[in-house]
Amino acid sequence: MRLHSLRARIALVFVVLMLVAQAAAFLVINSVILKNANRNAEEQLAVAERVFAQVLRGNSEQLTQAASVVALDFGFREAVATHDSKTVASALQNHGDRIHADVVMLVDLDGKLIADSGGVGHEGMAFPFPKLIRTVAKKGDASSFGMIGPRAYQLVAVPVKAPIAIAWVVMGFAVDDALARDLSSLTSLDVSFLTAGDDGKWGVLASSLADGARDALTNQAQLSADGYATRIMRLHSEGRTIEVLLERSLNEALAPFHRLQSTLLLITLLGVLISIVGSVLTARSVTRPIAALTQFSKRIGQGDYAAPIEIRQNDEIGELARAFNQMRDGISEREKRITELAYMDRLTGLPNRALFNDRLQQAIAAAMRENRPLSVMMMDLDRFKYVNDTLGHPIGDMLLCEVAKRLRAALQRKSDTVARLGGDEFAVLLPANDLPSARRVATRMLRALEEPIMIEGQLVDVGASIGIVTFPQNGTDMNVLLRRADIAMYVAKRSNLGFALYDERHDEHSAERLSLMSELRQAVEHDQLTLYYQPKVDLATHRVKYVEALVRWEHPTRGFVAPDQFIPFAEQTGYIKTISRWVADKAIGQCAAWRRQGIELAVSVNVSARELIQSTLPEIFQGLLDKHGVAPEWIWIEITESAIMDDPNHAIETLDRLHALGIRLSIDDFGTGYSSLSYLKRMPVDELKIDKSFVMGMFQHKDDETIVRSTIDLGHNMGLKVVAEGVETEEMLERLRALRCDLAQGFHLSRPLPPAKLEAWLDVWQTTTQTALLAAPPEEA
């Protein structure tokens, strides 16, 4: 560093200024230290004097109170009056011990000792402090210091009255080294009790000083010379003079300040060194804030907004730092908002699919480490689309918010997560919950949704279907658990169970089903599906006026695929809507073709629950009727009882609109859906179809025959036709005819047939029927 450089001159100025400032500070502080040490010592002595006096007063009050207690004791006064010396001595001893008094005496009216528990006098001896007794006689109590033998005592006296004074109780504490040490600990000073002898020399009664330091106490001038600040208190005493000496060593008082002087010297040296180093670093310090701003900018660029930049200068660099912090806050807030949009559902405030998947991954990892279970639920609202279509999307949104609120309330632990995955689909994560716990949570959730929901004055009725899986029983991978929970949810929805547990039987051919789904789409698109028709025979006239359209799939490589293999799967995936429309289109087209051929057959088609709650179903059928030129009364729609009960109000509304078109309606599988008669009487149906399980069981179970008979009677009483499905024997047919059933359908009459074979069967049936009618006796005909 060059001598004439700015850096050198700054260093020289800094060093000189530091030396001058340190020297001046040392002189001023040293003078202040001495004055403060003396003043502090005097202040400590004054405070100690007040504390000492307060302690002596406290001791006096303690002695007076104890002496008064014994003097007022009835038994003690009686013992004094009767000269019961043993009782008196025992009482004095007990009361003295309670306050640890060193001497307790009883003095008679003549000033003679009656008793003494401390052993400093003997009975009949003159009490050595007559002035104390005289003061008590005047004032009622008194205290004083006095010498008894070589020891000093703090004494108090109170009268014993019965009712006039009959004696005096005297109690006292010994003035000893223990007392001196206690007072020293309270005052932080050395305390000594002194007394002047007959020769005028001072003697030490007690002291907190060590034995070697007591010799100097007899010369107070020597104390001052030795660097002590002292204070002498004369105690109220009778007989020899007793004083208290309070002393404070000035050397001890100055000891902390000596350390301060040494520290100041060290600081001075360090200051010079720091000034040299600081002068060198001053130029560099100018660029340091700029370097900090550069690093801060890089940290912001990397996405680290944890802490602001700390530059508190009030210059241009400080202003720039504050602008950088404002930029950081703005970017952080916007990124936080973006994160919320990415991980939170804006409508309900619940976690979304991304956040749920992240938490599920973490929960699976934790469950693996800790070897504990967890549960996952998938939930879908029932009848939500109806709410949206009927009441509008704003009401649907409010309904979703209310559902989210109730689901959150049903979860009892903070670690549980409920998320909205989209639409009316929700998911629940229950870390550390086993299957029984998950069932209880699912039950609480379903009950919470059963409570009436009032939105904008509208009473909204929704239910839910929940699928439950557990880790690790149902899988250890997130995607596997979610897919299987979804499968279980559809099982619950299809079966109206509320909630269902995953069963591998529902998913044992998952890969095959995925392939089947793709092939099913192609079958519909390329017309690979076909319709078969099963006739319904009128049991009264033997005529066939109705057929039911049943879908069949003849796969190019798989061969015949039974409906129960692909229809439930199509319902689960939602593809049943497409299949239902294809069936309706083909069936109505076939009805038109038969009518053109002169074959008068009414065709019935099946409609799924998903189709029934679709508000556009009547328009779809109206369009198909118009397309094929078919009268509505030629078409029957069959709806399962369970499909109606999924959403009775909406189902009845859709049925009313279909009935208004002129289409005939039939309830399929009647008796299995537990429908309420209150709903049945409101539905515009024309026909009941008795489920085949009851028909086929008539001859094995009387209850089944009772159900069949009751259903027939119920249908006739309501003005409906009744069809029996599953007729497989002549015996069944005859029994149904005896029960006055209207129509029969089953393998005994005919299996489902393609159109050409059905036409051939009709020709044979009509010929056979006419022959049988002609051959029958007149009464049977």
Chain segment 103-135, per-residue pLDDT in tens: 898 988 888 888 887 666 677 788 888 888 888
Return the SS3 of 561.
Answer: strand
pLDDT at 224: 47
pLDDT of residue 779 exceeding 50, the answer is: no
pLDDT of residue 745 exceeding 80, the answer is: yes
Chain segment 309-353, per-residue pLDDT in tens: 776 767 667 777 777 777 777 777 777 776 666 778 888 989 989
Q: 359 pLDDT band (50/70/90 cuts)?
A: very high
Q: Does domain 512-766 have CATH number 3.20.20.450?
A: yes
Chain segment 586-628, per-residue pLDDT in tens: 999 999 999 999 999 999 999 877 777 666 889 999 999 999 9
pLDDT at 452: 83
CATH code for the domain defined by 31-249: 3.30.450.20
pLDDT at 545: 93
Q: 634 pLDDT band (50/70/90 cuts)?
A: very high
pLDDT at 6: 46
For 458-496, letters b (16+ CB in 10 Å) and e give: eebbbbbbbbbbbbeebbeebeebbbbbbbbbbbbbbeb
Chain segment 189-234, per-residue pLDDT in tens: 888 888 877 676 778 888 888 776 776 676 554 554 456 778 888 8
Q: Are 208 and 184 in contact (CB under 8 A)?
A: yes
Average pLDDT of span 767-778: 68
Most confident of 500-504, 546-550, 672-676: 546-550
Q: 249 pLDDT band (50/70/90 cuts)?
A: confident
Chain segment 11-60, per-residue pLDDT in tens: 667 667 777 776 777 677 777 777 777 787 777 788 888 888 888 888 88
pLDDT at 225: 44
**CA angle, residues 335, 339, 344, in degrees to nearest 5:** 150
Average pLDDT of span 490-511: 77
pLDDT of residue 257 exceeding 60, the answer is: yes
Average pLDDT of span 704-711: 91
Average pLDDT of span 443-448: 92
Q: Measuring CA to CA, how many Å separate 292 from each of 158, 284, 285?
A: 82, 13, 11
Average pLDDT of span 77-92: 84
Between 187-191, 368-372, 537-541, the lowest mean confidence (pLDDT) is in 187-191
Residue predicted with more confidence, 95 or 664: 664
Q: Cα(209)–Cα(245) distance, rounded to whole angstroms?
A: 11
Q: Cα(83)–Cα(73) distance, rounded to whole angstroms?
A: 15
Chain segment 503-514, per-residue pLDDT in tens: 877 665 555 666
pLDDT of residue 696 exceeding 60, the answer is: yes
pLDDT of residue 659 exceeding 90, the answer is: yes
Q: Cα(507)–Cα(548) distance, rounded to whole angstroms?
A: 31
pLDDT at 781: 35
Return the number of other C-beta atoms located less than 10 Å from residue 734's C-beta.
11
Is the pTM for the entire model greater than 0.75? Answer: no
Q: Do domains 344-508 and 512-766 have the same CATH topology?
A: no
For 240-262, letters b (16+ CB in 10 Å) and e give: eebbbbbbbbbeebbeebeeeee
Residue predicted with more confidence, 696 or 506: 696
Average pLDDT of span 489-495: 83
What is the residue extent of each domain of the chain?
A: 31-249, 305-342, 344-508, 512-766
Average pLDDT, the chain: 82
H helix runs in 671-729, sequence order:
677-680, 692-696, 702-717
**Three-state SS sequence of 260-296:** HHHHHHHHHHHHHHHHHHHHHHHHHHHHHHHHHHHHH
pLDDT of residue 157 exceeding 80, the answer is: yes
Q: Are 375 and 435 in contact (CB under 8 A)?
A: yes
DSSP per-residue codes, 347-375 = TT--B-HHHHHHHHHHHHHHHHHHT--EE
pLDDT at 345: 86
Q: Which of 259, 200, 189, 270 is nearest to 230 (CA)?
A: 189
Q: Are 367 and 631 in contact (CB under 8 A)?
A: no
Average pLDDT of span 527-541: 92
Q: Does domain 344-508 have CATH number 3.30.70.270?
A: yes
CA 220 to chain centre: 75
H helix runs in 602-685, sequence order:
609-612, 617-628, 641-646, 648-661, 677-680
- Rg of the chain over Cα atoms, rounded to whole angstroms, equals 55
Tell me the percentage of the chain whose pLDDT exceeds 70.
83
Q: Cα(570)–Cα(577) distance, rounded to whole angstroms?
A: 8
pLDDT of residue 471 exceeding 60, the answer is: yes
